[in-house]
Amino acid sequence: MNLNLLQHVAGSFLCLSLSLAAISCQDETRINEKKYENYGDIYAEDQSLLTNPSNHPHGYGKKNCFQCHNVQNIHQVDLILSLDVDLNSIHSRIAEDGLSSCQDCHGNNGTYE
């Protein structure tokens, strides 16, 4: 196989992979929302912050929260009016602990790890 063909195949595969990754995190209701991620008050459903298939249908069961959730866009607005949420504390925790900080409030997201 010549080098040009190999580079073309590798480039095509990379483009396809990146496109599929981007599409897998999109949801028609969120495509135009750029300011922050708004999933509503997930606490209201069952008085829990744990993710489940009902309140997190497109991401439940995925291990890497940051694959779909942009760190700069999460927890920008207090959507849970029935709890006292300290957004600054959450931002600091995410900055310090990264991905592991998600499980403290949202559980294992169906990954059972």
pTM of the model: 0.61
| pLDDT number for residue 88 | 92
The segments of the chain whose pLDDT lies below 70 read 1-36, 113
For residues 83 and 107, state if they share a domain. Answer: yes
Domain count, the chain: 2
What pLDDT, on a 0 to 100 scale, did the predictor assign at position 96? 94
61 and 108 assigned to the same domain: yes
The angle at the Cα of 11, spanning 9 to 14, to the nearest 5 degrees, equals 110
Tokens representing 12 are 């095509």
Q: In 84-100, which positions are buried (b, 16+ CB within 10 angstroms) versus exposed (e)?
A: ebeeeebeebbeeeeee
Q: Say whether both 96 and 60 belong to one domain.
A: yes
Range of the domain at 8: 1-31
Specify whether the backbone of 107 is left (phi greater than 0), alpha (psi in -120 to 50) or beta. Answer: left
